[in-house]
Structure 1
């Protein structure tokens, strides 16, 4: 049973993960925490961030300091945004509504998932901070248009298309825990989705290649989608510089460098490792957000220094939601913002624009 009381020993993001394990049913916790395969990528997301050292400068006047920034023409209180996380009612009865209330209170943007357990319209009503809609591609193009048009009418200001999880990764942890979506939680934004055509396979065909992947989008589909909306479109799930260049060339306004929290393809690099290469490939004027393993304000600092415009927070929002509802999510976000402020002040960087590669120590 969750409460709205912030535990006295919730002092950092990792504390919320520990506390969530105590309050969530085992199968749900394992589903949220788990990664793909042997979870090498899940571990690497954290290991790679831990290996990066900051290189502070002293005696700089930072009394005019601020975490404020601008992303795609929107003013943000800090370079932090809540990543799209599906089915949040598995962690708390209010689900995405509580998360939206917390985001608004802390002036943090929120990406709302196609697989949210509340309608995208209802969530938007609770969001006064930047609101972006995350689209999982649907086989029926007209249904994609319907979702996009609903997002436009509801006041979402950007569209994020996730492209790295057309099919689920191999999630043995969740399988061992026998996770199943509770009966009272559903993808309510997809209730009117047209039925998928039935498929039959010959002995030489694959249920993966000829089956599930037949529903996956291609570059042609994303190019078409960009032309259907006035919203800026960002592509989420890019790890290769060549794909980043391709996204820019077809008209995407930005990308999210991400390995889906290590939940899809295992044995791939962390986003923080490839971020400098991707930034170099697309230039300084292209919007890049990054996610994967962010737990500290210093992690956000590192992401910005290596080329990101902002960082996304994934699992921690669900841990905090499970522990203390909207109050927990708001507290978790405040912790991160204050940690970022401390990191900036002690590194001698008063503004987000002052954080760059020179802030990272590289051994000679």
Structure 2
């Protein structure tokens, strides 16, 4: 019998859009003299003592699989770190899973909690993978737009208006990628009250928690009263410890959820890289001074780039964390895509158009200041020259 099949590719994979961030990164890769403010990656090299720990693990022959949930010693360090830094307690044996980066932790969470057709409220602008990960898990992403008028802070009433009988969770990132917006304790409490009232989970992406610049102590969603047992907390080592290439994250959740996540993790990924886990143990034990120095540098860069954007006519709110500025380019009359493409071709500066992060990102560009101050100064000169030429 002759097959009537027209393609071997699933409809889901066919409909999946390529990353808008990567498109501009790939364009810039083939050009000389480009200053990239596009990819969210620290320009710092992983500190030597952390690299040395990985090398030492190799020399000692630690090259086997680890337990599915990760090396217990690392999970114990994560538990201590969460308690010491963010005032929330997790059982290292049962409530912490080491993952292949924070992105895989979010994917793992979605596949664990969602049945087909269930909804996750996604606050936009947001990291480009949130919506696809909901959809790949069979869920429905309900987009709610934070606006520039409120410095991209989502309002509880906006979230409440999106809740239906099918809503399972709210996806939240603070400090936010791409806006750098940081929610304070009172703002998180308002969202937490909503989650408790409607019996919802919060998937809290706190990968940028260490990179916050406000005087107020960072508050984790899981530390809010009543939220520890309804929060899936995602974090990792890429941003704060400059360990992007090590691909190591972790997820903390109450045992009912974490035990189910571990089952999915066993089949999907087995375990994270052994040598990366030994490096992470060293990072948590002795990496605080490195983090503090990087945060000081990021704060200086943030202050420079935000002031510079406002001076050249691109209105920019001050990000409370992460390492992104999200200036408005509406005054130029160009769309985000047009601005980014023309800036790259004419002046050799790569930025990410804001619309790839959601509809409310239109009229903005994301600029990573995780690059040297000298390069930021040159980038601002080129951007000003480009604006003046319009």
TM-score (norm 1): 0.35
- Higher CA-based Rg: 2
TM-score (norm 2): 0.33
The structure with higher relative contact order (CA 8 Å, sep 6+) is: 1
